[in-house]
């Protein structure tokens, strides 16, 4: 019965410890998430800034696993490159040591007032009550999150104390002593910590349990070092599992985490215990306390960062060699918007930025496919295949962006984010329809080419003027979506009138040629179909213009370079400019 009570107390303490740590990590992650998107640009500058950011972020959210999983998501989404992710991962390992220092407060001994106040048994009850009151009284979501974080901290420290109290009687039991003695073998200690950490998926928890044992039983430095190294390798399982549903680049980021911890642990253990086998190192026999464990934990990670941060490029090469790039992957990457990572939906600002990047790819495909459509005459089969693939890609992008925005809309969005998401949805649909119209025009052209028929010289000339006008507005749409100016939003609304007049003149001239027998009567419908598709493309560009300002003004990451110089020309002046450029040119035909 006594053993049963000890085990029950240990399990209860472990449950509280893991729950408190998980709650604190989750709530702190939510608090940090609001400002994380603002730091992304700085994080992505180089590996050293990424290292500092990883250490700071992990120190804030109190979970290296959370930071590493987030990094895998960033790499998968294309926000971070592998070299930059390496710095973030190495920094996360160092930042994780802060939690061990916090837990070491449980080991404080002494009777002075200051030391007594620093003991968790003294201040944790007040923390718990404060957290409950903040959560109950707080009216805003942020205050409730802060209350949850404080409660999580209090529960974690309480669980740590319960484990320590439960372990104390075990030091008199021979079988428990034998278990601890087995840790004198560094291989057994490393393997035990690795497997245990893989089971609970938290190296912070393993180190915390190790501190609890050190408070009530005898552990030496020689035992602790392999246990800490094994825990850090074992925690890599979390990133590896999270990478299963990601791209190959996401998997490579998870392997960077694994290889870094292996390179940090294995050479250290091999050298240290190899030397110890030849010439005994007396320092390894020194007993440790709760304070010594975070010190050892920090030194291992600090030395690992100092050695491997400059060599992070080498670790990236090993990870890339593990999952080599292939032609199939490159083709797949062209059709899959990997930046739309579901893990980033927790932060609407970052998610909208990723949507903007995806829309930019879609818009460029629209521009490229339009150019290709104009060159279909006389092109080989490979060219036609490429154009069809481009149109399929535009449609595929539309479906992927739509699904991502639907998933985003299910999250808690503020008014600005909701407006941006709606505008993005409209832009996505317009670009998708433009791709369909381009394909329709291409099919009419190829149908004529396959039949051996063609429009008259005058008909081709008129159509050339019309397609050139539409090409200008498509290019302006794409460029303005990327760089942001008032040129598109102002010009396109005015250009609509000119296009309508241009379309009407082209149709009238074509009908006249049909009556005069200049053009084949069988080609009347195909000619008008092409003209209709071209004007509908302008309609879709008009929709992009209408939604561009809401998307920009609501923080979607589009550069806002809307200068007053862009608006100096009046609507009448812009209209006259287009008339002179296209209608006058058509009159000359």
Question: Which stretches of 168-247 are DSSP H helices?
Answer: 174-182, 186-200, 203-216, 221-234, 236-242
| Res. 505 pLDDT band, cuts 50 70 90 | confident
The answer on pLDDT for 271 being more than 80 is yes
Measured at the CA of 510, the angle between CA 507 and CA 512, to 5 degrees, comes to 110
45 and 114 assigned to the same domain: yes
Tell me: pLDDT of 262 over 90: yes
Can you give the residue range of the structural domain that contains 406?
A: 342-588
Crossing angle for the helix pair 524-553 and 415-451, nearest 10 degrees? Answer: 160
Q: Which two tokens stand for residue 26?
A: 């989750």
Q: How far apart are CA 348 and CA 405, in angstroms?
A: 10
Single out the residue in 322, 351, 372 at which a domain terminates.
322
pLDDT at 510: 76
Token representation of residue 515: 């009556």
DSSP letter (8 states) at residue 283? G
Domain ends where: 322, 352, 369?
Answer: 322
Q: Would you state the pLDDT for residue 353? A: 85
0.75 exceeded by pTM: no
Reported confidence tier of residue 567, pLDDT bands at 50, 70, 90: very low
Confidence of residue 382 (pLDDT cuts 50, 70, 90): low
- Say what the pLDDT of residue 585 is: 53
Is the torsion defined by CA of 113, 114, 120, 126 positive or negative?
Answer: positive
The structure tokens 């990094």 sit at 71
Q: Is 220 helix (H, G, I), strand (E, B) or coil?
A: strand
Establish if 330 belongs to a structural domain: no
Inside any domain, residue 328 = no
Averaged pLDDT for residues 411-427: 86
Q: Is residue 548 part of a domain?
A: yes
Between 271 and 209, the more confident residue is 271
CA–CA distance, 586 with 260 (Å, rounded to integer): 67
> What per-residue confidence (pLDDT) applies to 235?
85
Residue 562 phi/psi, 5-degree rounding, is -80, 90
Residue 78 has pLDDT above 80, yes or no: no
- Mean pLDDT check: name the lowest of 82-86, 244-248, 507-511, 566-570: 566-570
Residue 334 counted as domain residue: no
Task: Tell me if 557 sits within 8 A of 352, measured CB to CB.
Answer: yes
* 290, 322, 354 - which closes a domain: 322
Residues 44 and 105 in one domain: yes
Of residues 54 and 164, more confidence is placed in 54
Q: Is residue 352 part of a domain?
A: yes
Q: What domain count does the chain have?
A: 2
Q: Are 393 and 464 members of one domain?
A: yes
Nearest-angstrom CA–CA distance, 84 and 86: 5
Domain presence at residue 331: no
pLDDT score recorded for residue 429: 93
457-475 tens-digit pLDDT: 887 888 888 888 888 888 8
Q: How confident is the model over 254-279, as a mean pLDDT?
A: 91
The β-bridge partners of 287 are 220
CA dihedral of residues 268, 270, 275, 276 (deg, nearest 10):
90
pLDDT tens-digit readout, 105-122: 666 665 556 655 556 666
Helix (H, G, I), strand (E, B) or coil at 435: helix
pLDDT class of 191 with cuts at 50, 70, 90:
very high
CATH of the domain at 539: 1.20.58.220
Q: Is residue 382 located within the same domain as residue 284?
A: no
Residues 47 and 176 in one domain: yes
Tell me, what's the pLDDT at 563? 45
Examine residue 332 and state whether it is found in any structural domain, yes or no: no
| Whole-number percent of the chain with pLDDT over 90 | 10
Average pLDDT, the chain: 77
Are residue 318 and residue 351 in the same domain, yes or no?
Answer: no
């Amino acid at each position: 019965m006594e053993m049963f009570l000890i085990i029950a107390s240990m399990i209860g303490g472990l449950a509280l410890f893991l729950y408190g740590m998980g709650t604190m990590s989750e709530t702190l992650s939510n608090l940090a998430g609001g400002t994380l998107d603002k730091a992304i640009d700085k994080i992505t500058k180089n590996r050293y800034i990424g290292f500092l950011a990883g250490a700071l972020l992990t120190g804030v959210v109190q979970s290296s696993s959370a930071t590493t999983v987030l990094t895998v998501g960033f790499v998968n989404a294309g926000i971070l490159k592998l070299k930059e992710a390496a710095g973030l991962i190495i920094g996360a390992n160092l930042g994780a040591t802060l939690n061990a220092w916090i837990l070491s407060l449980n080991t404080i001994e002494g009777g002075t007032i200051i030391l007594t106040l620093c003991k968790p048994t003294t201040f944790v009850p007040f923390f718990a009550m404060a957290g409950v009151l903040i959560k109950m009284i707080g009216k805003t979501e942020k205050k409730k999150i802060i209350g949850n974080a404080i409660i999580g901290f209090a529960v974690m420290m309480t669980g740590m104390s319960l484990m320590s109290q439960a372990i104390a009687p075990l030091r008199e039991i021979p079988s428990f002593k034998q278990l601890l003695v087995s840790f004198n073998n560094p291989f057994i200690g490393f393997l035990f910590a690795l497997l245990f950490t893989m089971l609970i998926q938290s190296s912070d928890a393993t180190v915390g349990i190790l501190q609890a044992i050190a408070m009530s039983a005898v552990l030496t430095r020689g035992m602790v070092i392999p246990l800490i190294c094994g825990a850090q390798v074992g925690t890599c399982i979390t990133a590896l599992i999270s990478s299963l549903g990601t791209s190959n680049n996401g998997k490579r980021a998870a392997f960077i985490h694994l290889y870094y911890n292996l390179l940090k642990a294995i050479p250290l253990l091999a050298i240290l215990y190899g030397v110890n086998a030849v010439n005994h190192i007396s320092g390894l026999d020194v007993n440790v306390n709760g304070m010594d464990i975070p010190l050892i934990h920090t030194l291992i990670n600090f030395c690992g960062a100092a050695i491997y941060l400059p060599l992070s490029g080498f670790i990236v090469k090993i990870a890339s060699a593990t999952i080599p790039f292939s032609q199939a992957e490159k083709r797949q990457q062209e059709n899959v918007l990997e930046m739309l990572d579901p893990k980033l939906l927790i932060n609407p600002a970052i998610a909208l930025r990723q949507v903007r990047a995806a829309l930019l790819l879609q818009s460029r495909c629209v521009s490229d496919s339009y150019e290709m459509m104009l060159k279909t005459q006389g092109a080989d089969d490979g060219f036609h295949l490429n154009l069809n693939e481009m149109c399929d890609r535009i449609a595929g992008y539309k479906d992927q962006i739509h699904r991502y925005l639907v998933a985003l809309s299910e999250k808690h969005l503020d008014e600005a984010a909701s407006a941006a998401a709606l505008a993005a949805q409209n832009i996505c649909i317009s670009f998708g329809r433009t791709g369909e119209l381009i394909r329709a025009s291409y099919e009419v052209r190829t149908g004529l080419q396959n039949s051996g028929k063609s429009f008259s010289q005058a008909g081709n000339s008129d159509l050339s003027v019309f397609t050139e006008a539409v090409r200008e507005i498509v290019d302006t749409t794409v460029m303005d979506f990327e760089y942001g100016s008032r040129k598109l939003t102002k010009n396109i609304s005015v250009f609509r009138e000119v296009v309508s007049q241009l379309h009407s003149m082209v149709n009238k001239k074509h009908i006249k040629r049909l009556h005069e027998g200049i053009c084949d009567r069988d080609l009347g419908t195909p000619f008008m179909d092409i003209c209709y598709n071209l004007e509908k493309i302008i309609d879709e560009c008009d929709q992009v213009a209408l939604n561009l300002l809401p998307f920009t003004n609501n923080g979607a990451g589009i550069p806002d370079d809307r200068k007053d110089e862009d608006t100096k020309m009046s609507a009448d002046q812009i209209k006259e400019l287009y008339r002179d450029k296209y209608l006058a040119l058509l009159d000359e035909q």
